[in-house]
Amino acid sequence: MKTIAGFVVLMGIVLFFADAEVLAPLDGLAVYFVVSGLLVLTIAQLAGSREKHWLCRIGFHDFERQERVEELPAMRWYRCKRCGKEKHAASIV
């Protein structure tokens, strides 16, 4: 996730300079180019990967409660229904 975010930000900056150079009179709008650049890149990232649900790619996993963690009875395993990502978290039930 960090790698993707870093890549998007870097590309946004590159885009900013590219657009600012060509469209100098529209300097005040440069931020919109950065934003649109980030949006396009985000969409490209989401569209480019089909192995995971798009919600999973942005960190919204659909976790389902699994069995307890053996070593830590207060913890339970959670598994994402879409991509199978696992985590464990405290659970009182």
- Residue whose CB is less far from Zn ion, 85 or 88: 85
Q: Which residues does residue 78 pair with via DSSP β-bridges, in sequence order?
A: 65, 87
- Residue written as tokens 């996993």? 61
Least CB distance from residue 86 to Zn ion, whole Å? 10
How many residues are recorded in the chain? Answer: 93
How many residues bind to Zn ion according to rule CB under 5 A?
6
Amino acid at 70: E
Q: 10 Å Cβ neighbour count for 15? A: 19
61 belongs to the binding site for Zn ion (CB under 5 A): yes
Least CB distance from residue 17 to Zn ion, whole Å? 35
Q: What is the footprint of Zn ion within residues 67-86 (CB under 5 A)? A: 80, 82-83, 85
